[in-house]
Structure 1
Amino acid sequence: MFSLTVRDHVMIAHSLPRPAFGPAQGLHGATFVVELTVRAEALDANSTVMDIGEASELLSAVLDGLRYRNLDEHPDFTGRLTTTEVLAQHIAVGAAEHLRRLEHLAAIEVTLRENPDAWASYTLALAGVPGSRG
């Protein structure tokens, strides 16, 4: 399987109001390094997974809806904890909406790095899933 990864970052504010999150229960800022990995079983007509510039622009566009926002007030997260895992899923779903048109793609993975020693990822299949090409 082939893969292409692009990277960007996003600065957000949020709180995680449950005892399990200790000091992160209160409102705080976070800067995440965000990686979008696109996977394909075969290359496209240009011998690429996809254009690197297009992948970078796509990731930036998805992140623009989150940049410098207080996620406690973001309508997409009403009633949800904005954990790193939830944010990875949110970004993957947003990217998938634009990538499903590239029928040779098999999956994407979004990784959010909170620091050099801790990160979370979400993988989303694009090809071979009934109803995934809608």
Structure 2
Amino acid sequence: MSTRIFRLTVDDHIMIAHSLQSPFFGPAQGLHGATLSIHATFERAGLDEHGVVMDIGEATGLLDQALAPLRYANLDERPEFEGTYSTTEKVIEHIAETLTSQLPEGHGLRALEVEAEEHPRARAEVRVELV
């Protein structure tokens, strides 16, 4: 019998401010705002006893909790990004770490992915293997 991999994705967005203070980042060195569309995908082999990857309300709530401290924040002032550049990649890494730490015991998930779209032509994604 073949294994079926199921995925559930929930979406949200955050509005942030930040600066990327290195010549590498060109005009983004100055303080500027960004709106990031965030997609969190939960993955499991097969379905749980209720026939789902996980409850959609639970997934949405976990994402909301992970994003709450970042909403309308100046990331230059957030301790989570002290000593690093608050790039889209670092933002999604932080969100993925937060989501991973919030998962309930015995969740049965095999992976978690977080994607952020900066604009229609650019996005970044990170995948965390949970097993």
Structure 2 length-normalised TM? 0.94
Residue of structure 2 in register with 1:104 after alignment: 108
Deviations 1:33-80 (A, max 9, x none): 000000001211101000111101110110001001100010111111
* Offset at residue 81 of structure 1 (A): 0.3
Partner AA of 2:121 in structure 1: D
Distance (whole Å) between structure 1 residues aligned to residue 57 and residue 75 of structure 2: 28
Residue of structure 2 in register with 1:113 after alignment: 117
* Offset at residue 103 of structure 1 (A): 3.4
Distance (whole Å) between structure 2 residues aligned to residue 65 and residue 126 of structure 1: 24
Deviations 1:84-125 (A, max 9, x none): 001110000000011252431000000000011110011111
Residue of structure 2 in register with 1:126 after alignment: 130
Q: How many residues align?
A: 127
Distance (whole Å) between structure 2 residues aligned to residue 65 and residue 79 of structure 1: 18
Deviations 1:8-36 (A, max 9, x none): 00000000011111110000000000000
Percent of pairs with identical residues: 50
- Say if 1:43 and 1:104, in contact at 8 Å, map to a contact too: no
Partner AA of 1:125 in structure 2: E
Partner AA of 2:91 in structure 1: L
Change (3 A) 1:6 1:35: same
Long gaps (5+) in structure 1: 128-134
Long gaps (5+) in structure 2: none
